[in-house]
Copies of this chain bind each other. A is one copy, B any other.
Amino acid sequence: MAADFAATRAMFQLPDGVIYLDGNSLGPLPRGAAERVAACITAEWGGMLITAWNRAGWIDLPRRLGDRIGRLIGAEPGTVVLGDTLSIKVYQALASALELRPGRRVILSDTGNFPSDLYMADGLVRTLGQGYELRTVAPEAVEAAITPDLAVLMLTEVDYRTGRRHDMVRLIAKAHDAGALVVWDLAHSAGAIEVDLAGAAADFAVGCTYKYLNSGPGGPAFIYVAPHLADRVRPALSGWLGHEAPFAFDLDYRPGTGIERMRVGTPPILQMAALDASLDIWDRVEMPDVRARSITLSEAFIQGVEAACPTLELASPRDPEARGSQVSFRHPEGYAIMQALIAAGVIGDFRAPDILRFGFTPLYTTMEEVEAAVGILAGIMATSAWDRAEFRTRAKVT
């Protein structure tokens, strides 16, 4: 049965007069989230107090939500757990992967990775010392740079600026052939494209929930560890809720079973309540339908913009299979153009130096909105001075 995207759209609270093409940065509010969080606060926290950890099932939320997200990324049941931020989860996955490859000291990543992933890897490498190294190449050079000295390949599947998508299956196979493990950042994949972690023989994956998964500002991150690795890692971030028996309060750390050991501290229950409500919408759709609709919307946007705005240069791959669920265009005056778009009610975002980003999120974005956004963008480009020679010259002088 085809997904009913009119029904899913009705499950969001969207402001009037706004076309929201920034769900790749912060997803909008699922109507159910406000109610769910209110119930969590008043009935659970207020009414049950400390006993809610068991009575309201708070303590199991990180695992329960993990399984719900796992369905969307092709993860086996019991292999995903929620908690912390994506940056912390990157550190945790990287440290674990490095420990599984003793004697190897190189992390390979690319310059298209989200900077925080590189920063966290840098911090870990500095902490480890002893010759550990973060090596960074251009995205298109990654495959050739997979050499037998690698410990870990760390990539974000979909580039946050351009939407360019790495070939997960191929790169995992190549890395495994070289004896390396792979850590995938799915920040722009989970809920955006089809991901099959189990089918791709993935080792580690991490991601955030506040973009396509609509969990709200600062919603928790997730981490996936392949079942055959999960009991072999000893987490660097060895917090009490990852202990085999957290409430025994032992002085010595003993890692919990499987993915449980990737838990660290007390989980953010209010944020998790919002995520839980958001996932009710995701339960109504299958990723292949979402992906197909995302391609339809983004192709229409590209065609419309290229026809109407010849000075905007497509920064995303033209082949929809080679990109995620966003489309980016380049323009030297990108920042000002985006400000004008936002003022006109079309919310995308800008990434320096010259990228205009637009996210396509079938759960709530309609074809009518895509067409209207193209029209508004075309109007801005036509009536403003962005492309007039004297404007460019002036901009360069000042």
Contacts and interface: CB of A to CB of B under 8 A. Distances in A.
Interface of A: 13, 15, 18, 20, 22, 25-26, 28-29, 33-34, 37-38, 41-42, 45-47, 49-53, 58, 84-88, 91, 95, 111, 114-116, 118-120, 122-124, 126-130, 136, 161, 208, 210, 216-221, 234-241, 243, 247-253, 264-272, 274, 342, 347, 349, 351-352
This chain's copy number in the assembly? 2
A284 to B, nearest CB: 20
Given A33-B41, A85-B84, A264-B88, A218 B15 contact: no
Q: Name, among A20, A25, A38, A116, the residue most crowded by chain B CB atoms within 10 Å (CB to CB).
A: A116
Contacts of A248: 352
A345 B87 CA distance: 42
Q: Name, among A86, A216, A234, A239, the residue most crowded by chain B CB atoms within 10 Å (CB to CB).
A: A239
A86 B266 CA distance: 8
Contacts of A128: 127-129
A123 B243 contact: no
A13 B126 CA distance: 47
Contact of A266 (B45, B111, B208): B208
Contacts of A268: 217-220, 268, 270-271
B42 A13 contact: yes
Contacts of A25: 50
